[in-house]
Amino acid sequence: MSVFVLLLKREARLLCRRPAELANPLVFFALVIALFPLAVGPQMQVLQGLSPGLVWVAALLAVLLSLDGLFRSDLEDGSLEQWILSEHPLPLLVLAKVLVHWLFSGLALVLVSPLLALMLGLPERCLPVLLLSLLLGTPVLSLLGAVGAALTVGLKRGGLLLALLTLPLYIPVLILGSGALQASLQQLPATGYLLWLGSLTALSVTLAPFAIAAGLKISVGE
């Protein structure tokens, strides 16, 4: 556990030294939401009907944008090989890295989402469901995307392959997240969608670190 905490601090310091990597997903998320009303027009009913799917698609793509270089810097400076050769469990180490990535990108995206959702005319009563669905769904996006990032870390241009690997895995999260928001918009209970999202989050936190560790070993060639 001490190694886990030390790795959390190390990754947090490294991300703070690269503010552009933190800002890119948020800027992309904000630009997609802000430009969409200009494209479809100012009709409030149209924007409200499209807002659940739009918010979740923008969040999904923003998280995917930040995952391409998740392990690349560690591979280039040799620390990834040290992780694999270390006596500490590799799934625990990669879980710390993905957790820091989510705290600095996914959680920040969750915090700015209410303001952007109001720009789309989403009622205030839907904001708790929006926050909770993103809070449960974005960790799943980060963990599943990290599996693809681990498999493509050794490729020079693995961004397209990463998208092809991870986008099919994102479909259940996209359906459940947008479905919860759509149900709240129609004043229907969204508890079922949120419970399924919570189940996916628990399953991803439990199993994804082992898949990420296996992907890194395959990519590094150990």
Give pLDDT tens digits for 112-160.
988 888 888 888 888 999 999 999 999 999 999 889 888 888 777 667 7
Q: Give me the helix-helix angle, 44-65 and 19-40, nearest 10°.
A: 160
Tokens of 87: 């006596």
| SS3 labels along 138-157 | HHHHHHHHHHHHHHCCCCCC
Tokens of 13: 């310091």
What is the domain range of residue 77?
Answer: 2-220
Distance CA 100, CA 214 (A): 20
Phi-psi region of 89 (alpha: psi -120 to 50; beta: other; left: phi over 0): beta
Distance CA 25, CA 16 (A): 15
pLDDT in tens, 27-51: 889 898 888 888 877 777 778 888 8
Q: How many CA atoms lie within 13 A of 150 on its CB side?
A: 27
The CB density around residue 130, as the number of other CB atoms within 10 Å, is: 25
Alpha helix (H) residue ranges in 107-190: 107-119, 127-151, 159-185
List Cα–Cα distances, 73 to 47, 87, 94, 181, in angstroms: 40, 21, 14, 36
| Highest mean pLDDT: which range of 82-96, 129-143, 157-171 | 129-143
* Prediction pTM value: 0.88
Q: How many domains does the chain have?
A: 1
| pLDDT score for 132 | 93
| pLDDT score for 17 | 77
| pLDDT score for 1 | 65
Is residue 201 pLDDT above 90, yes or no? Answer: yes
